[in-house]
């Protein structure tokens, strides 16, 4: 079946705004029972002007009551964010600061937060397509894990789940509920060459929620209004890629080149130092101030 790539905002919103689909995704990732779930007032944010060079992303918040393996219920805020490219991490943290950690009025109390990130890019050092970052309470004096939780700590820290869509590789067919959910976000089997808007979903569908997800993504293609929204998004992305996106890519390349040059300079200074050269000699050879040589040697020894 031909479906819309779930990483497009038009498609992602259609999935996560459906309570049944959102519940299934959250239950599968968190490995817990969702007793109740509701979308909270939130702002869908994305780059829409040529002057805006920040990360294009989409954020959805849920207020949910979950039941753990011990049968205890807890109300939490689940923040789901999707991004197609890497950028300043402060963009993500900015919204955590005003999510469940802080009350919105004097009558409200903060609730624990769980974050779920859907990424359209690959992390550099993590190969798994589905990463869970879970906290542990550790007694540092005895080096033991504490089997307890404290509200103060829970409100100041949180667990996170990171899905790297480009790293999803299901194989012949999904084998677990998690793989079934992830299969909808797999970035393979594109329907058109050099285009990523549409995907040919060919996996067997044995899960009712996955069928609903696939049907919803297929519906966007057939409905005139939904299709126009997708086409507008694709057109904007193409414009952004060749304008502000080009500037950002050049800035990233420049920053990387500067970092490589800085690393090479530091390595050169240390090599000269190991050979017995004085700081004055190193400064003359490397053509940098002597106080910079001293700073490099002091901060990295």
Structure tokens, 91: 């963009």
Give yes or no: residues 37 and 183 share one domain.
yes
Give yes or no: residues 25 and 167 share one domain.
yes
Give yes or no: residues 166 and 252 share one domain.
no
Structure confidence at residue 107 (pLDDT): 57
Tokens 């509200």 correspond to 151
Higher per-residue confidence, 104 vs 216 = 216
Examine residue 278 and state whether it is found in any structural domain, yes or no: yes
Give yes or no: residues 131 and 71 share one domain.
yes
Give yes or no: residues 45 and 158 share one domain.
yes
Residue at which a domain ends, from 137, 167, 201: 201
Structure tokens, 220: 């966007």
> What's the domain range around 111?
2-201
Structure tokens, 151: 């509200």
Examine residue 94 and state whether it is found in any structural domain, yes or no: yes
Structure confidence at residue 271 (pLDDT): 92
Give yes or no: residues 271 and 148 share one domain.
no
- Domains in the chain: how many in total? 2
Give yes or no: residues 136 and 265 share one domain.
no
What stretches of the chain adopt beta strand conformation (E)? 2-4, 33-39, 57-67, 73-83, 113-119, 130-133, 138-139, 144-145, 159-164, 198-200
**CA nearest to 163, candidates 136, 199, 133:** 133
Q: What percent of the chain has pLDDT over 70?
A: 80
Give yes or no: residues 169 and 252 share one domain.
no
36 near 73, Cβ under 8 Å? no
207 near 179, Cβ under 8 Å? no
Structure tokens, 82: 């999707």
Is pLDDT at 245 greater than 70 in this prediction? no
Examine residue 240 and state whether it is found in any structural domain, yes or no: no
Q: Which CATH number does the domain housing residue 279 bear? A: 1.10.10
Mean pLDDT of 169-196: 93
Give yes or no: residues 272 and 178 share one domain.
no
Give yes or no: residues 118 and 253 share one domain.
no
Examine residue 45 and state whether it is found in any structural domain, yes or no: yes
Q: Kindly report the pTM of this predicted structure.
A: 0.70
CA–CA distance, 132 with 162 (Å, rounded to integer):
7
Examine residue 230 and state whether it is found in any structural domain, yes or no: no
Query: What pLDDT digit, counting tens, does each position of 33-80 carry?
Result: 999 998 876 545 444 444 444 445 677 888 889 887 778 888 888 878
Q: Which residues pair with 161 in a beta bridge?
A: 116, 132
76 near 119, Cβ under 8 Å? no
Mean pLDDT of 165-185: 95
Mean pLDDT of 167-192: 95
Structure confidence at residue 165 (pLDDT): 94
Average pLDDT of the chain, as a whole number: 83
Structure confidence at residue 284 (pLDDT): 92
CA–CA distance, 182 with 179 (Å, rounded to integer):
5
Give yes or no: residues 179 and 292 share one domain.
no
CA–CA distance, 77 with 52 (Å, rounded to integer):
29
Is pLDDT at 5 greater than 90 in this prediction? yes
Residue at which a domain ends, from 201, 218, 235: 201
Examine residue 217 and state whether it is found in any structural domain, yes or no: no
Which residues have C-beta within 8 Å of that of residue 166, sequence separation ≥ 6?
A: 119, 120, 121, 122, 187
Query: What pLDDT digit, counting tens, does each position of 202-243 carry?
Result: 999 999 999 999 999 999 999 989 988 888 887 776 655 556
For residues 209-223, b (16+ Cβ closer than 10 Å) or e, as one string? bbebbbebbbebbee
Structure confidence at residue 76 (pLDDT): 84
Structure confidence at residue 45 (pLDDT): 47
Please give the radius of gyration of the chain, using alpha carbons only, rounded to the nearest integer. 24
Examine residue 21 and state whether it is found in any structural domain, yes or no: yes
Examine residue 226 and state whether it is found in any structural domain, yes or no: no
- DSSP structure class, residue 31: T
């Amino acid at each position: 079946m031909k479906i819309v790539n779930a990483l497009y905002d038009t498609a992602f919103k259609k999935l996560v705004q459906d309570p049944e689909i959102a519940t299934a995704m959250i239950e599968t990732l968190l490995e817990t029972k969702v007793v109740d779930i509701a979308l909270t007032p939130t702002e869908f944010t994305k780059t829409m002007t040529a002057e805006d060079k920040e990360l294009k992303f989409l954020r959805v918040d849920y207020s949910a009551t979950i039941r753990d393996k011990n049968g205890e219920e807890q109300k939490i805020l689940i923040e789901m964010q999707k991004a197609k490219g890497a950028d300043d991490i402060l963009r993500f943290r900015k919204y955590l600061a005003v999510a469940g950690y802080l009350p919105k009025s004097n009558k409200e109390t903060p609730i624990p937060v769980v974050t779920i990130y859907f990424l359209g890019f690959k992390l550099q050092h993590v190969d798994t397509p589905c990463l869970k970052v879970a906290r542990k309470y550790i007694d540092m004096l005895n080096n033991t894990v504490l089997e307890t939780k404290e509200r103060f700590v829970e409100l100041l820290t949180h667990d996170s789940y990171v899905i790297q869509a480009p790293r999803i590789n299901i194989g012949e067919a999904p084998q677990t509920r998690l793989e079934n959910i992830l299969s909808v976000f797999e970035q393979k089997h594109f329907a058109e060459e050099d285009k990523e808007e549409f995907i040919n979903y060919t996996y067997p569908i044995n899960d009712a929620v996955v069928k609903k997800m696939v049907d919803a993504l297929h519906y966007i293609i057939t409905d005139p209004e939904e299709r126009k929204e997708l086409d507008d998004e694709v057109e904007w992305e193409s414009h952004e890629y060749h304008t502000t996106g080009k500037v950002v890519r050049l800035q990233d390349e420049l920053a990387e080149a500067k970092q490589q040059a800085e690393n090479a300079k530091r390595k050169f200074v240390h090599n000269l130092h190991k050979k017995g050269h004085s700081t004055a000699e190193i400064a003359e050879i490397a053509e940098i101030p002597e106080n910079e040589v001293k700073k490099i040697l002091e901060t990295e020894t």
